[in-house]
Amino acid sequence: MSADTRKLIRIGLVGLGTVGQGVWKHLMAHKNEFEARIGGHLELTRAAVRDLELKREVEVPPQVLTTDPMDIALDPDIDILCELMGGTDLALRVTRAALQTGKTVVTANKALLCEHGSELFALAEENHTRIYYEASVAGGIPIIKALREGLAANQFPLIYGILNGTCNYILTRMQREGKGFEEIVDDARKLGYVEADEALDLDGWDAAHKTAILAFLAHGKWISLNDMPVEGIRDVTLEDIRLAERLGYKIKLLAEIIRDLKRDTVFASVQPALVPESMVLASVDDVFNAVSVTGDIVGESVYIGRGAGQDPTASAVLSDVVDAATALVNEAKNGLYHRKQKELQIAPLEAVCRPFYIRVVVKDEPGVLSEVSAILARHSISIESVLQTPSKVKGLAQLVMTTHSTSERSMRDALLEFEHDSCIQEKPFILRIADFEQSLN
């Protein structure tokens, strides 16, 4: 009987939390199937943890554990390092060291890639190795592979989606149950849906990190978070949700990447928006994510699935492990495909146009609506509809308006004028209306 000469690929995990344990569990359960697919052997060789004594849901031989992740990054026997620890400081040092020693890196760390992706991809190329990052965006949805491989023939004038399951869960329950933001957020905390740093979820930064990664993948440009308008959902009220329903919309925290193929500009944002009920994304609820990709050749395709959790994220990590191991077994020399673009400019706010929803509290007296309309008209903003609703405070009224398509610049300038108008009693609240046919002038 001939000896088994198939290549052995050794894997080290840095981080054995919820996702890391899911990766360990499913790799061990499906090891034979994975090995048949890659044509080699897989071995979970080492794992770095914070606490050696911590009770875990998977059985890990104590001799493979270490508390120093740099041990794994510098171990010459490790072929693939799975960075699942989170954070950016130590994770950056570990990832750098792994790449410098020629290891393949698989990561689920969106913040790391958003802040240091340009450096890390250059380091991987310099050391003739690769970074895989399917799990960094939209959990179990294979959106990275779709953009990088399945849709590689396309340019992408529009990508938009729901990239944060926590915010989608909160907005869904507010709409479905008629409960306020704070009550639902408290439930989400108890269920473990909200990050320890709540601003990552509730203020939109988690979705912004993912948006930056998708923009790089689609257009070859890292967009700084300083160049990306980012807003969360804290100011969305139950009344906004009910008014949106009356107007035929649902409110979603929407990530957008808009590319003007003629002017070579790109614009990215993360903001709560009114999504028409006729659009597919309006029906994507609870902790699910969804991404719509429009290619200049293929047209629109939509991807929906669970955006977080142990199994969806572990599925994405293991998909990358299988791809990475297959490349190592076959001694593939070329790096992963990334788009090389000439330097794109960030689209100016004057060029980004869409309809808006405006909620504003005003004095309940004659002439106020005319004054509000005049402010908007001075900034070339045309009102499509107006609804006056009672205010809880005597002598005040609430105006809810939708506009025709106007630029982000015009709306910002109008809001500044509102702040100095004596008729306006509270800071106006605005939402974008998802109208992607008019997004760029």
Residue 355 CA to residue 350 CA, distance in Å, equals 14
The per-residue pLDDT for 127 is 94
- What value does the CA radius of gyration of the chain take, rounded to a whole number of Å? 24
The per-residue pLDDT for 432 is 96
Q: How many CA atoms within 13 Å lie on the side-chain side of 42?
A: 28
Catalytic residue among 25, 55, 103, 210: 210
What global pTM score does this model have?
0.91
The per-residue pLDDT for 177 is 96
- Cα torsion through 92, 95, 96, 98, rounded to 10: 160
The per-residue pLDDT for 336 is 67
Per-residue confidence in pLDDT tens, the chain, 441 aa: 455 678 999 999 999 998 999 999 999 999 999 999 999 999 999 999 999 988 898 989 999 999 999 999 999 999 999 999 988 899 999 999 999 999 999 999 999 999 999 999 999 999 999 999 999 998 889 999 999 999 999 999 999 999 999 999 999 999 999 999 999 999 999 888 888 889 999 999 999 999 999 999 999 999 999 999 999 999 999 999 999 999 999 999 999 999 998 899 999 999 999 999 999 999 999 999 999 999 999 999 999 998 878 888 999 999 999 999 999 999 876 666 667 666 889 999 999 999 999 999 999 888 899 999 999 999 999 999 999 887 788 889 899 999 999 999 999 999 999 988 888 988 999 999 998 765 545
Q: Which residue type is seen at 184? A: I
Q: Report angle CA 157, 161, 164 to the nearest 5 degrees.
A: 145
DSSP secondary structure string for all residues of 350-414: GGBEE-EEEEEEEE-STTHHHHHHHHHHHTT--EEEEEEEE-SSTTEEEEEEEE-SEEHHHHHHH
Tally of residues, the chain? 441
The per-residue pLDDT for 388 is 87
The per-residue pLDDT for 333 is 64
DSSP secondary structure string for all residues of 158-197: EEEEE--HHHHHHHHHHHHH---HHHHHHHHHHTT-S-SS
Closest CA to 124 of 108, 94, 102, 145: 102
What angle do the packed helices 89-100 and 110-126 form, to 10 degrees?
20
CATH class label, 8-139+311-329: alpha beta
Which of these CATH numbers, 3.50.50.60, 3.30.465.10, 3.30.360.10, 3.40.630.30, describes 143-307?
A: 3.30.360.10
For CATH 3.30.360.10, the residue range(s) in the chain are: 143-307
Q: Which residue has the tokens 């008629």?
A: 178
CATH class label, 349-438: alpha beta
**210 noted as active-site residue:** yes
For CATH 3.30.70.260, the residue range(s) in the chain are: 349-438
The per-residue pLDDT for 343 is 80
DSSP secondary structure string for all residues of 109-158: -HHHHHHHHHHHHHHHHHTT--EE-GGGSSTTS-HHHIIIIITTT---SE
CB atoms inside a 10 Å sphere around CB 137: 29
Backbone angles phi, psi at 36, to 5 degrees: -65, -35
Q: Report angle CA 417, 421, 426 to the nearest 5 degrees.
A: 95
Strand partners, 292: 160, 302
For CATH 3.40.50.720, the residue range(s) in the chain are: 8-139+311-329
The burial class, CB within 10 Å (0-12 / 13-18 / 19+), for 254 is: buried
Please list, in sequence order, all residues whose beta carbon lies within 8 angstroms of the beta carbon of residue 192, skipping any fewer than 6 positions away. Answer: none
Please list, in sequence order, all residues whose beta carbon lies within 8 angstroms of the beta carbon of residue 286, skipping any fewer than 6 positions away. Answer: 165, 168, 169, 172
Q: Which residue has the tokens 């709306």?
A: 411
